[in-house]
């Protein structure tokens, strides 16, 4: 079974540019989460999809971030325009719909974003 995949693995962009990150969850996982780790700090929750619907986007930093999950499959996270403080590692995780006791979140390898 394929795990969670993320693309690209690294992205280096100039301040003001746009970047789109992609996450492919494990097949059949309805829950999809985005997290971010800024250098040296804790990993923080950004938002949660259930299928194609945003369930909770309380962790999104501001309106420069836009997440979508078309058709309830893969998800994209677009940053437009990017700022220096957006640099960090963006993780995606997916889990089955069900009880918290069983819905382990499986993480992707992350996308390292560097904004210059």
Partner 1 sequence: AQTVTQSQPEMSVQEAETVTLSCTYDTSESNYYLFWYKQPPSRQMILVIRQEAYKQQNATENRFSVNFQKAAKSFSLKISDSQLGDTAMYFCAFMKHEGYGGATNKLIFGTGTLLAVQP
- Binding residues for partner 1 (CB under 8 A): 3-4, 30-31, 33, 35, 40-45, 48, 50, 55-56, 59, 91, 93, 95, 97-101, 103-110
Choose between 1 and 14: whose C-beta lies nearer to partner 1: 1
Q: Least CB distance from residue 78 to partner 1, whole Å?
A: 21
Which residue lies nearer to partner 1 by CB, 4 or 19? 4
CB neighbour list of residue 116: distance below 8 Å, 6 or more residues apart: 12, 13, 14, 15, 84
CB of 81 to partner 1, least distance (A): 27
**Torsion, Cα of 54, 60, 63, 67 (10° steps):** -40
Question: CB of 42: closest distance to partner 1 in angstroms?
Answer: 5
Instruction: List the structure tokens of 34.
Output: 């985005």
Q: In this structure, what token pair is assigned to residue 52? A: 């194609």
Residue 70 or 101 having the CB closest to partner 1: 101
Tally the C-alpha atoms within 13 A of residue 95's C-alpha that lie toward its C-beta.
Answer: 13
């Amino acid at each position: 079974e394929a795990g969670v995949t993320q693309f690209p693995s690294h992205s280096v962009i100039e301040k003001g540019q746009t970047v789109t990150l992609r996450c492919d969850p494990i097949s059949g996982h309805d829950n999809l989460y985005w997290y971010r780790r800024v250098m040296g700090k804790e990993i923080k929750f950004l938002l949660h999809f259930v299928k194609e619907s945003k369930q909770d986007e309380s962790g999104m930093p501001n309106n420069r971030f836009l997440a979508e999950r078309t058709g309830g499959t893969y998800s994209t996270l677009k940053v437009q325009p990017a700022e220096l403080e957006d640099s960090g590692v963006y993780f995606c995780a997916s889990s089955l719909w069900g009880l918290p006791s069983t819905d382990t979140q499986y993480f992707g390898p992350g996308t390292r974003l560097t904004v210059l």
